[in-house]
């Protein structure tokens, strides 16, 4: 009596393995082109920082010697370059001698997270550049274009479907491939000649599995639909990345002090510079000095003036290299007293891991070694995709190939409990990762069509006999 359950269990295991094999093949055939685009554009992104530094050398560098002018004069110079009394959205003082200061302005014609940056030599006050920068890392136009292509093929939100599709299925392909390699590694060792490509594909996939899981997990945090679910989950579990509040306490003077309040906009959509009785440009120097006194000691910092009534200054470290320096303080606009602060050392572990994971994915955390490692891992993914298509093409042209069962046939052969488990898992993953769920329906529709066509061919052959 004990043999029957054991036999059923082995048969169920074989069917589940076959189901995983078919799913892995569908991912390789239908999703791999998107993975290939993401990998190649990712390689271009992580290998361009040095080239970008050369390309924009004139804007990024100033004179090596001399004493830096006050930030107030640097901001005023940038305003004059714009020929508009616009208050900058943020200022990044020159981090090292010979670097330029970025005075960044908001404008309605720019996209999300974009600013128009005026590059000012802090010593001579010469305007060294005027270009659009993107994101917290201040990416310049070349990498911005590559980044947007990597994330959404320069197609806006609609294009984000491609990257979310790739990230949603990459971890499934990696896990399925690893399981298949573990089950078949002995048989794979014996493969020689043309079949050796399957062994190399499986071995490389097993070696790269951890890196592929990393790409998938960090990529999903940026996605539109799955990323929203991940953000809600992190918030519910208290894993959200902390940020200082710039809202002034109600007990502190706000409306009656002359330095507060600058919400007006000019005809270009820029925030208007304050009048003499309001926020002064010298407050940029005061804010930086107060932040330094408060322990904001990173060379790379960003200063943001109050954006609206009842708001505080925000000074944040933006050095995401190792060791990570992303502390922040909020400063009262009159006294420059600290009203809130966040230190990276106090971040929850999950928030730290998220910060490090994103910075690793962007090639920021360890600089050049990180960028080279990312390029190597992405190249491995490119090779896996190319080998996968080569195996598919060889099998398609082979006269001795046997017809494999479809996904639907394998699923139908599973015992009832196993089918229920597979369906529940698919529904749960589809709800958590909506793009994966929608594309899985496409996979199933294609597979059902193949199954029906095969049944018709079999029926026709039987009738001919």
188 in the same domain as 171:
yes
Is the model more confident about 239 or about 37?
Answer: 37
Provide the 8-state DSSP code for 324. P
Is 339 contained in some domain? Answer: yes
Residue recorded with tokens 């992190």:
234
Domain count, the chain: 3
- Burial code (b: 16+ CB inside 10 Å, e: under 16) for 222-232 equals bbebbbeebee
| CA neighbor of 136 nearest in space, from 324, 389, 317 | 317
Q: Strand pairing partners for 329?
A: 315, 341
Q: Which residue segment(s) compose the domain that 71 sits in?
A: 61-148
pLDDT averaged over every residue in the chain: 88
Tell me the HSE value of 54 on the side-chain side, using a 13 A CA sphere: 4
User: How many residues appear in the chain?
Assistant: 465
Check residue 402 and give its pLDDT: 58
71 in the same domain as 43:
no
378 in the same domain as 351:
no
Name the pairing type of β-strands 86-87 and 90-92.
unpaired
Q: What is the distance, to the nearest Å, from the Cα of residue 426 to the centroid of all Cα atoms in its chain?
A: 25
Answer for the pair 338, 347: CB distance below 8 angstroms, yes or no.
Answer: no
Residues of the chain with pLDDT > 70, as a percent, come to 90
Check residue 136 and give its pLDDT: 84
Q: Which of 98, 123, 148 is the last residue of a domain?
A: 148
Is 445 contained in some domain? Answer: yes
402 in the same domain as 332:
no
Q: How many Cβ atoms sit within 10 Å of the Cβ of residue 320?
A: 20
Is 3 contained in some domain? Answer: no
Stretch 394-414: mean pLDDT, rounded?
78
* pLDDT band of 172, cuts 50, 70, 90: very high
Is the model more confident about 384 or about 230?
Answer: 384
Task: Enter the pTM of the model.
Answer: 0.86
382 in the same domain as 354:
no
pLDDT digits (tens, 9 = 90+) for 115-158: 999 999 999 999 999 999 998 888 999 999 999 999 999 998 89
* pLDDT band of 33, cuts 50, 70, 90: very high
Tokens, residue 224? 């539109």
Is 93 contained in some domain? Answer: yes
pLDDT for residue 1 is more than 50: no
* pLDDT band of 464, cuts 50, 70, 90: low
249 in the same domain as 398:
no
Is 52 contained in some domain? Answer: no
Q: Which of 362, 396, 417 is the last residue of a domain?
A: 362
Is 374 contained in some domain? Answer: yes
Provide the 8-state DSSP code for 136. T
374 in the same domain as 227:
yes
Q: Which of 129, 148, 167 is the last residue of a domain?
A: 148
Q: By CB neighbour count within 10 A (0-12 exposed, 13-18 middle, 19+ buried), where does 205 fall? A: buried
pLDDT digits (tens, 9 = 90+) for 278-320: 689 999 999 999 999 999 999 999 999 998 888 999 999 999 9
Tokens, residue 448? 């059902």
Answer for the pair 336, 286: CB distance below 8 angstroms, yes or no.
Answer: yes
338 in the same domain as 315:
yes
pLDDT digits (tens, 9 = 90+) for 182-231: 998 888 887 777 778 999 999 999 999 999 999 999 999 989 899 989 88
Q: Strand pairing partners for 90?
A: 104
Is 129 contained in some domain? Answer: yes
Stretch 365-385: mean pLDDT, rounded?
96
Answer for the pair 170, 28: CB distance below 8 angstroms, yes or no.
Answer: no
CA distance readout (Å), 168 to 34, 205, 329, 387: 11, 17, 36, 21
Q: What is the distance, to the nearest Å, from the Cα of residue 394 to the centroid of all Cα atoms in its chain?
A: 35
225 in the same domain as 82:
no
Check residue 273 and give its pLDDT: 41
DSSP 2-20: -HHHHHHHHHHHHHHHHHH
Q: How many Cβ atoms sit within 10 Å of the Cβ of residue 290?
A: 20
**The Cα angle at residue 159 between residues 381 and 89, in degrees rounded to 5:** 105
Q: How far apart are CA 237 and CA 230, in angstroms?
A: 11
165 in the same domain as 37:
yes
Q: Strand pairing partners for 319?
A: 325
Name the pairing type of β-strands 86-87 and 271-272.
antiparallel
Largest CA distance in the chain: 98
65 in the same domain as 190:
no
pLDDT digits (tens, 9 = 90+) for 234-270: 888 877 888 999 999 864 444 333 333 334 444 444 4
Highest mean pLDDT among 10-14, 85-89, 139-143, 254-258: 139-143
Is 376 contained in some domain? Answer: yes
Residue recorded with tokens 């054991």:
6
36 in the same domain as 159:
yes
């Amino acid at each position: 009596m004990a043999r029957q359950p054991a036999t059923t269990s082995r048969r169920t295991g074989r069917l589940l393995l076959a189901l995983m094999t078919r799913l892995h093949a569908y991912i390789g055939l239908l999703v791999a082109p998107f993975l290939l685009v993401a990998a190649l554009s990712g390689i271009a992104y992580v290998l361009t920082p040095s080239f970008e530094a050369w390309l924009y050398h004139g804007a990024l560098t100033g004179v090596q010697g001399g004493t830096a002018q006050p930030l107030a004069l640097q901001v005023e110079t940038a305003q004059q370059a714009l020929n508009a009394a616009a208050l900058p959205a943020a200022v990044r003082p020159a981090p090292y001698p010979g670097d330029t200061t970025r005075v960044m302005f908001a404008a309605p014609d720019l996209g999300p997270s974009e600013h128009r940056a005026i590059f000012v030599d802090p010593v001579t006050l010469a305007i060294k550049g005027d270009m659009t920068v993107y994101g917290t890392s201040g990416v310049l136009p070349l990498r911005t274009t590559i980044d947007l292509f990597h994330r959404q093929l320069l197609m806006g939100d609609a294009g984000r479907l491609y990257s979310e599709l790739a990230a949603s299925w990459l971890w499934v392909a990696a896990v399925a491939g690893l399981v298949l390699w573990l089950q078949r590694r002995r048989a794979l060792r014996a493969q020689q000649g043309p079949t050796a490509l399957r062994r190399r594909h499986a071995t490389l996939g097993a070696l790269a599995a951890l890196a592929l899981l990393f790409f998938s997990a960090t990529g999903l945090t940026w996605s539109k639909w799955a990323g929203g679910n991940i953000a809600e989950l992190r918030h519910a579990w208290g894993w959200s990345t902390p940020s200082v509040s710039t809202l002034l306490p109600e007990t502190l003077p706000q409306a009656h002090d002359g330095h507060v309040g600058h919400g007006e906009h000019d005809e270009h959509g820029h925030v208007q510079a304050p009048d003499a009785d309001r926020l002064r440009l010298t407050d940029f120097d005061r804010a930086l000095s107060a932040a330094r006194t408060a322990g904001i000691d990173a060379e790379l910092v960003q200063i943001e003036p109050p954006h609206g009534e009842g708001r505080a200054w925000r000074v944040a470290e933006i050095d995401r290299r190792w060791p990570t320096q992303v502390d922040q303080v909020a400063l009262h606009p009159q006294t420059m007293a600290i009203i809130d602060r966040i230190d990276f050392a106090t971040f929850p572990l999950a928030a730290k891991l998220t910060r490090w994971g994103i910075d690793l994915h962007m090639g920021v955390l360890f600089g050049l070694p990180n960028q080279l490692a990312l390029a190597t891992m992405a190249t491995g993914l490119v090779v896996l995709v190319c080998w996968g298509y080569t195996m598919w093409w060889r099998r398609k042209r082979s006269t001795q190939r046997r017809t494999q069962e479809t996904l639907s046939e394998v699923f139908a052969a599973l015992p009832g409990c196993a089918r229920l488990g597979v369906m529940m898992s698919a529904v749960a993953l589809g709800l958590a990762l909506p793009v994966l769920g929608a594309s899985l329906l496409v996979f199933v529709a294609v597979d059902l069509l193949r199954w029906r066509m095969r049944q018709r061919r079999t029926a026709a052959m039987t009738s001919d006999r």
